[in-house]
């Protein structure tokens, strides 16, 4: 396989992983918002941690898909997916709010990078289905 097609596959996998992570984040955030609207027993202080969990799950699945597409370099691809998603979310969050970067941002960064790396490695190392004829 040529270097150019290999690089194209890697970039395609990274972009697909980031897009998947953002679509999942959107869907899970809407679901969580619906749950918040329907219930009144969820404390306000837990919302930040639930959002970190949602972002972590989304990046994990996005990086997994990126690793499956790339078929190699799972650690790097997962870290790039997690890092890119983190930078985009951080830029959006800082542009809309007047909050500074704090402890929750550090937790969010660690979770997203770690989930991206785990997802990328898991996607590359997944077992192919065995088909018996």
Residue-wise pLDDT for 98-111, tens only, equals: 667 788 889 999 99
Question: For the CA atoms of the chain, what is the radius of gyration?
Answer: 17
C-alpha torsion sign, points 106, 92, 45, 27: negative
> What was the pLDDT predicted at 26?
94
Query: pTM score, two decimals?
Result: 0.85
Query: Which residue has better confidence, 114 or 93?
Result: 114
**HSE-up (13 A, CA, CB side) for residue 121:** 8
Q: Kindly report which listed range (10-14, 57-61, 82-86, 128-132) carries the lowest average pLDDT score.
A: 128-132
Work out the mean pLDDT of the chain and round it to a whole number: 86
- Judged against a pLDDT cut of 70, whether residue 126 lies above it is answered with yes
DSSP string, 25-93: HHHHHHHHHHHHHH-S-S-GGGHHHHHHHHHHHHHHHHHHHHHHHH-S-HHHHHHHHHHHHHHHHHHHH
> What was the pLDDT predicted at 45?
83
The mean pLDDT value for 108-127 works out to 91
Residue-wise pLDDT for 36-77, tens only, equals: 888 877 788 888 899 999 999 999 999 999 998 888 888 899
Judge whether 17 and 65 are in contact, CB under 8 Å: yes
């Amino acid at each position: 396989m040529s270097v150019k097609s290999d690089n194209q596959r890697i970039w395609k996998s990274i972009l697909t992983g980031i897009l998947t992570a953002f679509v999942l984040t959107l869907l899970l955030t809407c679901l969580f918002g619906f749950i918040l609207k329907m219930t009144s027993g969820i404390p306000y202080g837990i919302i930040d941690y639930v959002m970190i969990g949602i972002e972590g799950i989304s990046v994990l699945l996005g990086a997994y898909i990126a690793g499956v597409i790339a078929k190699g370099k799972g650690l790097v691809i997962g870290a790039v997916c997690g890092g890119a998603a983190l930078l985009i979310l951080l830029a959006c969050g800082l542009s809309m709010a007047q909050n500074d970067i704090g402890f929750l941002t550090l937790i969010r960064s660690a979770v997203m990078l770690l989930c991206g790396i785990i997802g990328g490695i898991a996607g590359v190392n997944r077992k192919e289905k065995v088909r018996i004829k």
